[in-house]
Amino acid sequence: MKKIRVGVLFGGKSAEHEVSLRSAKNIIAALDPEKYDVALIGIDKAGKWHVRDSATNLLNTPDPKMLAFRDGDSVALIPSAPAGSLVTMQGTEPALDVVFPVLHGTNGEDGTMQGLLRLLDLPFVGPDVLGSAIGMDKDAAKRLLRDAGIPIARFVTVPAHKRSEISFEKLSAELGMPMFVKPANSGSSVGVYKIKTAEDFAAAADNAFKYDTKIIFEECVVGREIECSVLGNEIKEASVPGEIIPHHEFYSYEAKYLDENGAGLEIPAKLTPELVKKMQELAVRTCEVLCVEGMARVDCFLRGDEFIVNEINTIPGFTNTSMYPKLWEASGLSYKDLISKLLDLAIARHERDSKIKRSY
């Protein structure tokens, strides 16, 4: 039986470059060599694409901040070439059958890469263009969730051209104190700051604006941090919920990815059966409202017996400490089987969508 050729796409120009490499390393190790051939497609921090056929392109280092990959042959994916072809200076590589993008953050998780893969007519893991774009934009996602009646934290969105119109006094009166500021389009707590005093306000806003032209101020919700993994296209299923117990002041980028002791994980979360069901239904409903298929992790706060959706992550981490695969393992789906299931879902969606009539 012909092996499925999988392109694992990782790296990128995003602030989460190193996290992407760690996720890719785990995914590559989990791919069954009897079933899959693997092409490693790395995007460096300058945006240049490289291809190799060996996992040795990832340079191992005990410091996750310094993880890098060796340059391979420069490569391009060209729409006019046969579907799935990798074009290098040496010629055309064997065609890809499916792509696993593990590009966290900007230009990987926000619909841009998904749009390219659509143009290339390639199946790919994770949400499609619309779901990826909505999931990345916290402002758009929150407005859709609010209109659907899904509980969210109070928030105020500020575009850069209205920066001079905001004030600490007005926002603190509306949202309370402390409050958070976040770039609207950024992942994994990059550019997120907790504002405790008026003196923190201007610097925190300025720093958040470094990562986007639109930022969100949000109330501080005091509650347990509960997460749930979702898997599926038209029919979705949710994992057992898990709980994040931050050892930092909040679940920051450092706590998530750089400090192995940055947070405790309670898997499964200690919840009543009623709350487990409520969380799972909310996670699936959130994906439906935000047009997300394939996979996602839905993050909530539990305040009393009410879940408040914080955000959705459409390309969650696949590192050794990542909640998405850990929650599925606790639900009976191994890491290896999870990767295979995600690839199967990508191919099935592509086959479904290829039947849609595109012209008269």
Per-residue pLDDT at 169: 96
Q: Report how far residue 220's alpha carbon sits from residue 144's, in angstroms, rounded to the nearest whole number.
A: 20
Summarised one tens digit per residue, pLDDT across range 316-355 is 999 888 999 999 999 999 999 999 999 999 999 999 999 9
| pLDDT level of residue 87 (50, 70, 90 thresholds) | low
Query: E-strand spans in 20-137?
Result: 36-43, 49-52, 58-59, 68-69, 73-77, 86-88, 91-93, 98-101
Q: Report how far residue 132's alpha carbon sits from residue 11's, in angstroms, rounded to the nearest whole number.
A: 18
Q: Report how far residue 126's alpha carbon sits from residue 99's, in angstroms, rounded to the nearest whole number.
A: 10
Q: Report how far residue 100's alpha carbon sits from residue 103's, in angstroms, rounded to the nearest whole number.
A: 9
222-352: CATH class: alpha beta
C-alpha distance from residue 203 to each of 155, 167, 168, 170, 196 (Å)? 19, 13, 12, 17, 12
Q: What six digits make up the tokens of 142? A: 């929150």
Instruction: Give the mean pLDDT of the chain.
Output: 88
Q: What six digits make up the tokens of 315? A: 């390309």
Q: Report how far residue 304's alpha carbon sits from residue 307's, in angstroms, rounded to the nearest whole number.
A: 8
Helix axis angle for 335-353 and 17-30, nearest 10°, is 100
Per-residue pLDDT at 18: 84
- Please report, as a single letter, which amino acid is at residue 321: T
Question: Residue 1 pLDDT > 90, yes or no?
Answer: no
Lowest mean pLDDT among 162-166, 175-179, 214-218, 247-251: 247-251
- Domain covering 4-124: architecture: 3-Layer(aba) Sandwich (3.40)
Per-residue pLDDT at 262: 60
Stretch 167-191: mean pLDDT, rounded?
A: 90
- Please name the residue ranges forming H helices in 148-235: 168-175, 198-209
Per-residue pLDDT at 14: 80
Paired with 50 in beta bridges are 42, 74
CATH 3.30.1540.10 is held by the domain 154-219: no
| pLDDT level of residue 357 (50, 70, 90 thresholds) | confident
Helix axis angle for 198-209 and 168-175, nearest 10°, is 100
Stretch 85-110: mean pLDDT, rounded?
A: 80
pTM: 0.88
| Residues near 143 by beta carbon (within 8 Å), at least 6 away in sequence | none
Question: Residue 57 pLDDT > 60, yes or no?
Answer: no
Stretch 249-261: mean pLDDT, rounded?
A: 54
Stretch 133-140: mean pLDDT, rounded?
A: 96
Q: What six digits make up the tokens of 269? A: 């979360």
Higher pLDDT, 309 or 262: 309
Per-residue pLDDT at 302: 98
Q: What six digits make up the tokens of 3? A: 């092996």
Q: Report how far residue 326's alpha carbon sits from residue 92's, in angstroms, rounded to the nearest whole number.
A: 38
Hey, how many other C-beta atoms are within 10 angstroms of the C-beta on 143?
Answer: 15
Residue among 46, 47, 58, 41 nearest 319 (CA)? 58
Q: Report how far residue 114's alpha carbon sits from residue 291's, in angstroms, rounded to the nearest whole number.
A: 14
Query: E-strand spans in the chain?
Result: 4-11, 36-43, 49-52, 58-59, 68-69, 73-77, 86-88, 91-93, 98-101, 155-159, 179-183, 193-195, 214-219, 224-232, 237-238, 242-246, 263-266, 294-303, 306-313
Provide the residue ranges of all domains of the chain, joining segments of one domain with +: 4-124, 154-219, 222-352
Summarised one tens digit per residue, pLDDT across range 309-326 is 999 999 999 988 899 999
